[in-house]
Amino acid sequence: MAKVLEIKNLHVSVEGKEILKGVDLTIKTGEMHAIMGPNGTGKSTLASTIMGHYKYEVTDGTITLDGENLLDMKVDERSRKGIFLAMQYPNEISGVTNSDFIKTAMQARLGEDEHVSLFKFIKSLDKAVSDLKMRSDLPHRYLNEGFSGGEKKRNEILQMKMLKPNFAILDEIDSGLDVDALKVVGENVNNMRGDDFGALIITHYERLLDYINVDYVHIMMNGRIVKTGGKELIAKIDALGYDWLKEELGLEDEEEERKQHVVLGSCAIKKKTEAK
C-alpha cells in the first residue's frame, strides 16, 4: 500500500517572520512532484520544516506520515521513518568519511540485532558511484570537504540511492551542475521511481525536469502553493516566467514590496538628517 506524506495548512515562521502561509500538499509513494517558484518564496523553508530543522517554527497546520504526526519527531526519527532531504547547501563534515557516514545512516535504520553487510554495502556503494559517474575516491574522502559544488550535489544523490528513502525531498539539486552532470543526476533520480518511492523535487529551472518524469508540478509564491498542474506548467514557466501567474492570481510582487520598504526607509532617514 502507498505511504502518504500529508501537509495541511502549514504555517512556518523563521526568527519571528512568517514565511509559509498555509501550504497544502499530499505526496504518495509512487508519485513524483516538482515544486517551482521564484527565489525567496519559501521552498527551502518547506523542505527544512518537513525534515525538522530547529530554526523553523511551525505555528499552525500539520505534517503527517501515514497519519502519524511528523512534527512530534526529531530529525533522526523522521529519517528512520523514511524521509530524506538533499540540501540546497550540503554541510562539510571533516573527520567523517563519506562511506562511514552512509553506512552509519543505513545502520541507524535497522533493528539492534540487524547489521549492514559490509560486502553488500561496498558492492552497492561501488555501483552507485559508477551510476553517478563520480570519482572512485569520493566515498573515502571526508564528507563534502573540498568537494566542488557539483560533486556535493551528486553526493546527496549518492546518499539517497544508498538509503532508499520512501520520500526524498531534493532541494535545488540542479544548481551548480553542468549539462552533463545535470543529465546524470536527473536520470538517477528518475530511476528511483517505484511503488515505495515518492519525491518532492524543488527547482527553479525546467532543465532538470527534462530528465525527471514528474506527475505533478506545483508553483509556490509568497509562502503558498498557488497552482498545481502537470508538465505543461514547466514549459509555460520556462517561456514566460512567473509574471503571468502573479497577474492571474492578483498577487503582490514581494520583491517590489521589499524594495519600496527600503526606499521608504532611506527616505525616512533622509528626512531626519534634513531636519537637523
Q: Which residues bind Mg ion (CB under 5 A)?
A: 43-44, 88
Q: What is the largest CA-CA distance in the chain?
A: 77
41 sits near ligand ADP (criterion: CB under 6 A): yes
**Is 40 near ligand ADP (CB under 6 A)?**
yes
DSSP letters, 47-77, are HHHHHT-TTEEEEEEEEEETTEEGGGS-HHH
User: CA 143 to CA 139: how far, in whole Å?
Assistant: 8
Rank residues 11 and 109 by Cβ distance to ligand ADP and give the closer one.
11
Contact 20, 47 (CB under 8 A): no
Residue 149: CB minimum distance to ligand ADP, A: 17
Sequence-distant (≥ 6) Cβ neighbours of residue 87 within 8 angstroms: 47, 156, 171
Residue of the chain from 42, 82, 90, 150 that contacts ligand ADP (CB under 6 A): 42
Beta carbon of residue 56, minimum distance to ligand ADP (angstroms, whole number): 7
- In the bound state with ligand ADP, the residue whose beta carbon lies nearer, of 23 and 128, is 23
44 binds ligand ADP (CB under 6 A): yes
CA dist 106 and 88 (Å) reads 22
State the minimum distance, in angstroms, from the CB of residue 148 to ligand ADP. Answer: 22
Report the residue closest to Mg ion, judged by CB: 44
Q: Work out whether 15 is an interface residue with ligand ADP (CB under 6 A).
A: yes
Q: Where are the beta strands (DSSP E) in the chain?
A: 4-14, 17-28, 32-36, 56-65, 68-69, 83-86, 93-97, 142-143, 167-171, 198-202, 216-221, 224-229
Residue 40: name its binding partner from ligand ADP, Mg ion, none (Cβ under 5 to 8 Å by kind): ligand ADP
Shortest separation between residue 223's beta carbon and Mg ion, angstroms: 13
Cα three-residue angle 216-89-84, rounded to 5 degrees: 50
CB of 30 to ligand ADP, least distance (A): 26
Minimum Å gap between C-beta 44 and ligand ADP is: 3
Nearest one of 87, 73, 79 to 107, comparing CA atoms? 79
Which stretch, 40-48, 110-118, 136-144, 177-185, contacts ligand ADP (CB under 6 A)?
A: 40-48
Which of Mg ion, ligand ADP, none is residue 42 near (CB under 5 to 8 Å by kind)?
A: ligand ADP
Can you say whether the dihedral through the CA atoms of 94, 77, 105, 134 is positive or negative? negative
Q: Pick the stretch among 33-41, 131-139, 157-165, 182-190 that binds ligand ADP (CB under 6 A).
A: 33-41
91 near ligand ADP (CB under 6 A): no
Strands 142-143 and 198-202: unpaired
Residue placing its CB nearer to ligand ADP in the complex, 184 or 199? 199
Q: Give all strands (DSSP E) within 74-202, no chain letters.
A: 83-86, 93-97, 142-143, 167-171, 198-202
Interface stretch with ligand ADP, choices 1-9, 37-45, 128-136, 153-161 (CB under 6 A): 37-45
Q: Cell 524594495 maps to which residue?
A: 259
Q: Shortest distance, CB of residue 177 to ligand ADP, whole angstroms?
A: 17
Binding residues vs ligand ADP (CB under 6 A): 14-15, 19, 37, 39-45, 55
